[in-house]
Amino acid sequence: MSTTPPTGPNAPGGVPGTSGSPEPDLLADLQAEVAQDLEDERPPAGGPAYQVVAALVGVAVGVTGVVMSLGYGLGSLSEPGAGLWPFATSVLITGLSLLLLLVGRGLDDAEAFTRSSLLPLAGAATFLVMAFLLPVIGFEIPSFLLCLVWLRFLGGETWRSTVVVALVTTVAFYLLFLYGLSIPLPHLF
């Protein structure tokens, strides 16, 4: 979240030239201001390529859905087959995605990938490692390691607080799950 100085409740007081109809404009102003406020916190917008790729993914999902549901059999309206409803939704997805491809190129609601997008990537990787290790060596060591990576490398904490928080968290989860809730998580100790 950014900490920009107050942008403007004091400023707009009334947009010049709105003396005619103050009612709808007040709400519109507020909405624009709130949108602006939330806008300030967002990373740089992604360009048209983001929109095109997103739309193409939609088309791909839709077309795959259409092809597969045809395989399940459409049946008829009086006796709908297993594929009829998925077929209808897939056609909808395809159509809407094509529409997005046509009219959505100028949208600015995508967030550009930046260097800091590597952080979520690393985060997702730790999730996967944890999922692989959990059934093999129990949850304690993977949990501790996940905390370590997230606190020190993703969160920029000092080593001291990293180790303390990671230890406390792991122990707390151990007590909570195995004793507090008596849920049999795979555990080593």
User: Do residues 119 and 146 lie in contact, with contact meaning Cβ atoms separated by under 8 Å?
Assistant: no
27 counts as binding other proteins under rule CB under 8 A: yes
Binding other proteins by CB under 8 A: which of 60, 67, 70, 82?
82
> Minimum Å distance from CB 179 to other proteins?
14
16 binds other proteins per the rule CB under 8 A: yes
Q: Does 48 bind other proteins (CB under 8 A)?
A: no
What would the x/- binding string for other proteins be over residues 156 to 175, using CB under 8 A? xx---x---xx--x---x--
Q: Is 181 in the site for other proteins (CB under 8 A)?
A: yes
* Selected binder of other proteins within 47, 48, 53, 159 (CB under 8 A): 53
Q: What share of the chain is helix, strand, coil (3-state, %, to 5)?
A: 65, 0, 30
- Is the distance from CB of 106 to CB of 49 less than 8 angstroms? no
Among 60, 70, 99, 175, binds other proteins (CB under 8 A): 99
Nearer to other proteins, 23 or 179 (CB): 23
Site for other proteins in 136-155 (CB under 8 A): 139, 143, 146-147, 150-151, 154-155
41 part of the interface to other proteins, by CB under 8 A? yes
Instruction: State the distance between the two ends of the chain, measured CA to CA, in whole angstroms.
Output: 40
Q: Is 147 exposed, middle or buried (0-12, 13-18, 19+ CB in 10 A)?
A: buried
Among the listed residues 93, 109, 114, the one whose alpha carbon sits nearest the alpha carbon of residue 51:
109
Q: Residues 129, 54, 103, CA angle at the centre, nearest 5°?
A: 165
Three-class DSSP labels, 30-44: HHHHHHHHHHHCCCC
CB of 78 to other proteins, least distance (A): 3
29 interacts with other proteins by CB under 8 A: yes
Judged by CB under 8 A, does residue 74 bind other proteins? no
Q: For residue 87, count CB atoms less than 10 angstroms from its CB and return exposed for 0-12, middle for 13-18, buried for 19 or more.
A: buried
| Footprint of other proteins on 102-131 (CB under 8 A) | 103-104, 107, 109-111, 113-114, 116-117, 119-120, 123-124, 126-128, 130-131
User: CA-to-CA distance for 125 and 149, rounded, in angstroms?
Assistant: 11
